[in-house]
């Protein structure tokens, strides 16, 4: 007002004593020159009877209300029906002006209707609130009435359509009954209403023709089934006479066919085998051995492998073949299983191989068996499996024994000496006789050169001790040449032979009862 305003009003305040809401008004008193010489002020208690109290006490409809709010942030109530809320902050729209609206109308999903008007003098807002439930109740009632009428109309229409459909489909029901009877009695087809000129008659004619064709095909199919059953019986009889195991696994690895040999091998009757899975019959341990090959067969690839177990008299060997069978559209129907016992063949083969690799006089490996063992040892060394050593052993004075007492005594000496050599080397080392008085030893996985030296010394000791033969005590001797290949080193059999032969040559020319390493150094006398 000092700046020339015509009046002034305070914001909403609360009385110090009564805490009643109110405002302070002031107007200036000016002289003839327009200068402010005094200010007249007054206060209004908003809870006293005035137009705003009358406004708040009036209702809009049955549940609507008026209220006045400030323009602050957050806004406060200036006046409303619940005087305890005056001067308190304004809440959400559902509680605006003291109205308790439960939420959106469940049918129309409408929120309360709110109207606002701003007062020019104070900037306060006059708010009118009408709950959505009351505002839209007439519309909700109309909508419910429309829905009920629509449901009733739909029900009547559905009943009328059902009645018309039943009337129109009655001939078709008659036809259906005849069709159902004809499923068990082919003569019922003759009762079909084939004389009708409508769609029912056409359908009856078509059905009768179809049933006659079906009868012909059924008779043909039954004949084919009987022929197939006879063929299966014939195949079963043939398979039962085969000494091999013959079976068929379906796509679920269940036995669908077995012959008599399978019953004997599995020690179960056919009825207990059919329908069982391979894992159930074989057991988990044995099934794991067959599973990779079986997986190849079920992937569409034929698989044949050899399965053997046991040693010597308990040795058994089988040739197992899996042949996939395809159905229509390249769908795998199952796998044929053929198991042939080849124990006799493999036992003979093993015996022949053993005899071809064994020296008949001493029972040690011969040159052929030794070559195979040396190649394997060099392969292990090349792949980093450990160092390997080759020892050549040449007997001294053996020719004198043959010349003095004959070859029979020489053979006896060689047999006795072979047993001593076996006792002189480590378990797992390989001993061979090349012929005459020459022997060779392959030491596998050599960890230390001292192991080679100890073995060589043990051989020299075994050959130098007297042997009690039929003519008395006979003493010979030996020299040893050693060649080695380190782990990861690449050497050929010829390279090892040459190195060991040179070392043996150096040992023999250095005196009897000696061994020499491949570098030519004399290690011991």
Q: pLDDT of 256-310, one tens digit each?
A: 988 888 898 888 998 999 999 989 988 888 899 999 999 999 999 999 998 888 8
Q: How far is CA 87 from CA 28, 251, 370, in A?
A: 29, 84, 113
Confirm if 488 and 384 have CB atoms less than 8 A apart. Answer: yes
pLDDT (tens digit, 9 = 90+) per residue, 201-225?
Answer: 777 777 777 777 777 787 788 887 8
The enclosing H or E element of 432 equals: strand 430-435
- Distance from CA of residue 195 to its chain's centroid? 64
Point out which residues pair with 247 in neighbouring strands: 258, 337
* pTM of full prediction above 0.75: no
Report the pLDDT value the prediction gives residue 110, as an integer from 0 to 100.
66
- 238: burial class by Cβ within 10 Å (0-12, 13-18, 19+)? exposed
Share of the chain above pLDDT 90, in %: 28
Confirm if 21 and 79 have CB atoms less than 8 A apart. Answer: yes
pLDDT (tens digit, 9 = 90+) per residue, 319-374?
Answer: 999 999 998 888 899 999 999 988 888 877 777 766 667 888 888 988 888 999 99
Report the pLDDT value the prediction gives residue 354, as an integer from 0 to 100.
65
Report the pLDDT value the prediction gives residue 343, as an integer from 0 to 100.
84
Report the pLDDT value the prediction gives residue 185, as an integer from 0 to 100.
67
The enclosing H or E element of 192 equals: none
Pick the more confident residue, 323 or 44.
Answer: 323
Pick the more confident residue, 360 or 383.
Answer: 383
What is the β-pairing status of strands 21-30 and 36-45? antiparallel
Q: Is the pLDDT of residue 524 over 60?
A: no
CA distance 40 to 441: 134
Report the pLDDT value the prediction gives residue 176, as an integer from 0 to 100.
74
Q: Which of 258, 337, 338, 346 shows the shortest CA–CA distance to 309?
A: 346
Q: Is the pLDDT of residue 117 over 80?
A: yes
Confirm if 255 and 278 have CB atoms less than 8 A apart. Answer: yes
Q: Is the pLDDT of residue 523 over 50?
A: no
Q: Which of 242, 182, 168, 262 shows the shortest CA–CA distance to 214?
A: 182
Report the pLDDT value the prediction gives residue 455, as an integer from 0 to 100.
94
Q: What is the longest distance spanned by two Cα atoms in the chain?
A: 172
Under 8 Å CB-to-CB from 155, ≥6 apart: which residues? none
The mean pLDDT of 166-170, rounded to a whole number, is 75
Share of the chain above pLDDT 70, in %: 90
Range with the poorest average pLDDT among 70-79, 191-200, 325-334, 397-406: 191-200
Model confidence at 520, pLDDT cuts 50, 70, 90, reads very low
Report the pLDDT value the prediction gives residue 518, as an integer from 0 to 100.
79
The shares of helix, strand and coil residues in the chain, as percent rounded to the nearest 5, are 45, 25, 30
DSSP helix/strand/coil, 361: coil
Q: How many helices (H) and strands (E) does the chain have?
A: 14, 22
The enclosing H or E element of 306 equals: strand 303-309
Average pLDDT over the chain reads 82
Report the pLDDT value the prediction gives residue 154, as an integer from 0 to 100.
94
The enclosing H or E element of 23 equals: strand 21-30
Report the pLDDT value the prediction gives residue 142, as an integer from 0 to 100.
86
Residues in the chain: 525
Q: What are the structural domains of the chain?
A: 8-131 (no CATH), 136-230 (no CATH), 242-347 (3.30.450.20), 357-524 (3.30.70.270)
Structure tokens at 307: 């399965």
């Amino acid at each position: 007002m000092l700046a020339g305003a015509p009046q002034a009003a305070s914001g909403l305040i609360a009385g110090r004593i009564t805490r009643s809401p109110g405002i302070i008004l002031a107007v200036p008193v000016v002289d003839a020159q327009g200068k402010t010489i005094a200010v007249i002020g007054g206060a209004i208690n908003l809870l006293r009877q005035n137009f705003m109290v009358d406004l708040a006490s009036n209702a809009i409809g049955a549940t609507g209300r008026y209220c006045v709010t400030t323009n602050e942030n957050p806004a406060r109530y200036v006046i409303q029906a619940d005087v305890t809320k005056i001067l308190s902050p304004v809440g959400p729209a559902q509680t605006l002006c003291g109205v308790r609206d439960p939420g959106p109308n469940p049918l129309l999903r409408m929120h309360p209707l709110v109207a606002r008007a701003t007062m020019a003098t104070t900037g306060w807002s006059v708010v009118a609130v009408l709950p959505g439930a009351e505002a839209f109740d007439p519309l909700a009632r109309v909508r419910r009435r429309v829905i009920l009428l629509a449901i009733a109309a739909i029900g009547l229409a559905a009943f009328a359509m059902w009645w018309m459909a039943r009337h129109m489909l009655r001939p078709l029901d008659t036809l259906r009954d005849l069709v159902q009877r004809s499923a068990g009695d082919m003569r019922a087809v003759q009762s079909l209403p084939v004389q009708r000129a409508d769609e029912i008659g056409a359908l009856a004619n078509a059905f009768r023709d179809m049933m006659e064709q079906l009868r012909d095909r059924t008779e043909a199919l039954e004949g084919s089934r009987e022929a197939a059953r006879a063929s299966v019986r014939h195949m079963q009889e043939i398979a039962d006479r085969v000494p091999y195991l013959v079976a068929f696994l379906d796509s679920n690895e269940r036995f669908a066919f077995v012959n008599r040999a399978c019953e004997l091998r599995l020690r179960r009757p056919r009825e207990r085998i059919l329908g069982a899975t391979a894992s159930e019959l074989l057991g988990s341990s044995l099934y794991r051995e067959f599973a990779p090959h079986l997986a190849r067969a079920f992937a569409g690839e034929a698989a044949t492998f050899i399965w053997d177990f046991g040693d010597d008299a308990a040795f058994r060997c089988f040739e197992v073949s899996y042949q996939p069978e395809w159905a229509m559209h390249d769908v795998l129907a199952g796998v044929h299983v053929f198991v042939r016992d080849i124990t006799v063949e493999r036992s003979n083969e093993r015996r022949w191989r053993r005899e071809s690799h064994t020296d008949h006089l001493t029972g040690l490996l011969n040159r052929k068996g030794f070559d195979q063992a040396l190649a394997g040892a060099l392969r292990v060394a090349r792949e980093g499996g450990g160092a390997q050593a080759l020892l050549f052993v040449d007997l001294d004075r053996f020719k004198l024994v043959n010349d003095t007492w004959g070859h029979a005594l020489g053979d006896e000496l060689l047999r006795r000496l072979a047993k001593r050599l076996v006792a002189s080397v480590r378990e797992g080392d390989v001993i061979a006789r090349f012929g005459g008085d020459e022997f060779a030893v392959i030491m596998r996985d050599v960890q230390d050169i001292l192991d080679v030296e100890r073995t060589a010394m043990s051989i020299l000791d075994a050959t130098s001790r007297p042997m009690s033969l039929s003519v008395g005590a006979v003493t010979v001797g030996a020299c040893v040449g050693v060649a080695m290949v380190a782990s990861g080193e690449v050497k050929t059999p010829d390279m090892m032979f040459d190195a060991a032969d040179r070392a043996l040559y150096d040992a023999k020319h250095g005196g009897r009862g000696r061994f020499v390493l491949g570098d030519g150094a004399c290690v011991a006398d």
